[in-house]
Amino acid sequence: MVLTAPMPGSIFITGASAGIGEALALEFAKRRYAVAIAARRAEKLQALQARLVACGAARALAVPLDVTDFAAIPAALERAAQAFGRLDIVVANAGVAFVTPVGKGRFEQARTTVEVNLLGAMATIEAAVPILRAQGGGQVVGITSVAGWRGLPGTGAYSVSKAGLHRYLQSLRAEVHREAIVVTELSPGYIDTELNRGVGRRPFVIPVEKGAAIMARMIERKVGYRTVPVLPWSLIGPLLGLLPTALLAPRGEAGARGGGRSSF
C-alpha cells in the first residue's frame, strides 16, 4: 500500500492585488494551493493570476471585488467555492490606512478606513461561515494589527478598525467553538508594504515576503492568535496600553498635519 501526502487545499484572499495579500497569495501558490484572489483592481488581479500559476498554484482564480460592496461578497465566495469544489481557508485581508487626525477634515478617509477594514472584513466572514458549515468545516483568517492595542495620534480610525475586528473574531471563535471551523487572527507589526512606506519610523520592519511566509506557516498550523512576527511584538504590544498618554501626544501641531497613508 502506497501512502501519499494529502493535497494542499484552497484559499480565498481579499485585498490580494498588493501588499500582504499579494505576497500571501504567492506564498500559498508555492505551497501548491488553489488560490482565489479578490480585489478592486482587475488588471492587477489578472497579472497576479498568471504569476500564481507560474509559482505552482494548483489553480488560480481572479475575482474582482470591492469589499465595501457588501452584497457582492457572497457571490464572489460562491464562485471560488464552485470553481475549487470547496474553500478551506478564507482570509479577510483587504485594508486601507490613512492618517486621520480628528477635526482636520479627514472624516471621509476615516469612514473609508472603517468600511474597508472592519465592515468589509465582517461582511466577508459573514458570507464565508455558511459555506464552511455546509462543507463540514474550514478556516477563517482575519488580519488585524498591533495598532489595535492602543489608539495613537492621527490613526484613530485605523486603530479602531483593527481593534473592532479583533473583538469580532473573538466573538466568532466563541460562536463556532463546537464546530469544525477554525478562527485565526494574525496581528502584524510593521511589514514593508506601500501602506506604511511613508512613515518616518518603522521599528522592527520586515520584508513582505518574510511576513507572508510567517503568516502562511501560522495559518497552516491553525493558530488562534499570533503577532507577526511573534517577537518582539508579542512583548511590545501589551506594553503600549500601559504607556502614559503624555508620551504619545504629538508636540504642537506637527504631529497632526500628515495626510498620507500610514499603518502598522
Q: Is 190 a catalytic residue?
A: no
Residue 49: closest CA among 210, 39, 219: 39
CA distance 48 to 89: 19
Residues near 70 by Cβ (< 8 Å), separated by ≥ 6?
119, 120, 123
Q: Which of 33, 158, 168, 190 is catalytic?
A: 158
Quick one: how far is CA 22 from the chain centroid?
Answer: 11
Amino acid at 86: R
At 195, give phi and psi (nearest 5°).
-65, -30
CA distance 107 to 234: 32
The order of strands in the sheet holding 10-14 is 59-64, 34-39, 10-14, 89-92, 138-143, 181-188, 225-228
CA distance 250 to 39: 35
DSSP string, 199-262: -S--TT-EEHHHHHHHHHHHHHTT-SEEEESSTTHHHHHHHHTTS-HHHHSPSTTGGG---S--
CA distance 75 to 73: 5
Residues belonging to the active site: 158
